[in-house]
Amino acid sequence: MFHTTFTDFLNQHFEQHNLSGSLKETLNAIVAACVQISAKTRQGALSGVLGEAGSGNIQGEAQKKLDVIANQILIDALRQTPTVAGIASEEEDNFVETNEHGEYLVLFDPLDGSSNIDVNISVGTIFSVLKKQSSGSLKTDDFLQNGRNQLAAGYVLYGVQTQLVFTAKHGVFGFTLNDQNQFILTKDNFMLSETTAEFAINMSNQRHWESPMQSYIAELLAGIDGVRGKNYNMRWVASMVAEVHRILTRGGVFSYPFDKRDPAKPGKLRLMYEANPMSLLIEQAGGLSSNAKQNILDIQPTGLHQRVAVILGAKEEVERVNQLHA
């Protein structure tokens, strides 16, 4: 029933859409590194990879051992991939130059949701690929391209199954890791319904949201008796990769809005290696993604680690949030 490997899929897909072979090489390297990360996450306590690393990152977050391990696996793999000029990682203060003559920039959150690792809840790797536009030595500005410039994006979800979801801007495709460590095509073209009855948000922050967001969520909670005229279900996994995968699989809307706890921060999630790649996947699957005022993919980045408010998923819901914030 399922037999197409990711590598064979890429060959067919790239030929069909006339995409560059060097991008294919870059993607194969990222995905091969994620197979190594999957093996590490599966072993858990048996290989001493749980718990804190005893270090912190630029985000001011305590790093888990697996954050550091996953980050190093990806950096080592991409250093050995001639097509990759440099990387930006949630776990690295600055960019890392990998190959002087590389064409691509790879941005990633090596292990998103890592607070869930020690309690065995799904975590994931998120990646985004940009073209190095300028000649000469690599600089931070080379990475600061808006989300529409992404050539490819995806994630690997280390969950009940290990699944890869990927786009090169010609649809969104899903692969499942088999017991020979091959990703096999199991979902041909994710498509999102424009409507949903399921939302994901961390309700404990309700008092910190701006009033339009409070009004939006109150509408959903009012259910069939409210203006939306239907009952909603709620989910919160505290792992963006798991939430986005659920939304791509059965619909929904995910929000991590601006909140007043730290007004200097426009949101919790990072634009370059969380919001942009996830927004490209969602938009390619027929959904929408916004910071409540602007399409995420149109935001002109100003820093590698800048944060952004995120509302993504079913078009009708994202448009309602935008309308309330207008």
Q: Which residues bind ligand P6P (CB under 6 A)?
A: 112-113, 115, 202, 238-240, 256, 268-269
Shortest distance, CB of residue 256 to ligand P6P, whole angstroms? 6
Beta carbons of 253 and 220 less than 8 angstroms apart? no
Single-letter residue type at 138: L
> In this complex, which beta carbon is closest to ligand P6P, that of residue 66 or of residue 240?
240
Residue nearest ligand P6P (C-beta atom): 240
> In this complex, which beta carbon is closest to ligand P6P, that of residue 10 or of residue 278?
278
Alpha carbon distance 90, 126 (integer Å): 10
> In this complex, which beta carbon is closest to ligand P6P, that of residue 10 or of residue 240?
240
Tokens of 204: 């404990």
Beta carbons of 254 and 239 less than 8 angstroms apart? no
Shortest distance, CB of residue 31 to ligand P6P, whole angstroms? 20
Helices then strands, counting H and E runs in the chain, come out as 7, 17
Shortest distance, CB of residue 123 to ligand P6P, whole angstroms? 8
Shortest distance, CB of residue 279 to ligand P6P, whole angstroms? 14
Beta strand pairing call for 152-158 and 123-131 = antiparallel
Among 79, 126, 85, which Cα is nearest to 104's? 85
Alpha carbon distance 185, 210 (integer Å): 42
Shortest distance, CB of residue 269 to ligand P6P, whole angstroms? 6
Shortest distance, CB of residue 299 to ligand P6P, whole angstroms? 18
Shortest distance, CB of residue 61 to ligand P6P, whole angstroms? 8
> In this complex, which beta carbon is closest to ligand P6P, that of residue 64 or of residue 325?
64
> In this complex, which beta carbon is closest to ligand P6P, that of residue 239 or of residue 290?
239
Q: In the block, which residue shows the tokens 């995409």? A: 19
DSSP result, 223-243: GGGSTT-S--EEE--S-HHHH
Shortest distance, CB of residue 117 to ligand P6P, whole angstroms? 11
Single-letter residue type at 86: G
> In this complex, which beta carbon is closest to ligand P6P, that of residue 274 or of residue 283?
274
> In this complex, which beta carbon is closest to ligand P6P, that of residue 191 or of residue 238?
238
DSSP result, 69-118: HHHHHHHHHHHT-TTEEEEEETT-SS-EE--TT--EEEEEEEEETGGGGG
Helix (H, G, I), strand (E, B) or coil at 218: helix
> In this complex, which beta carbon is closest to ligand P6P, that of residue 58 or of residue 191?
58
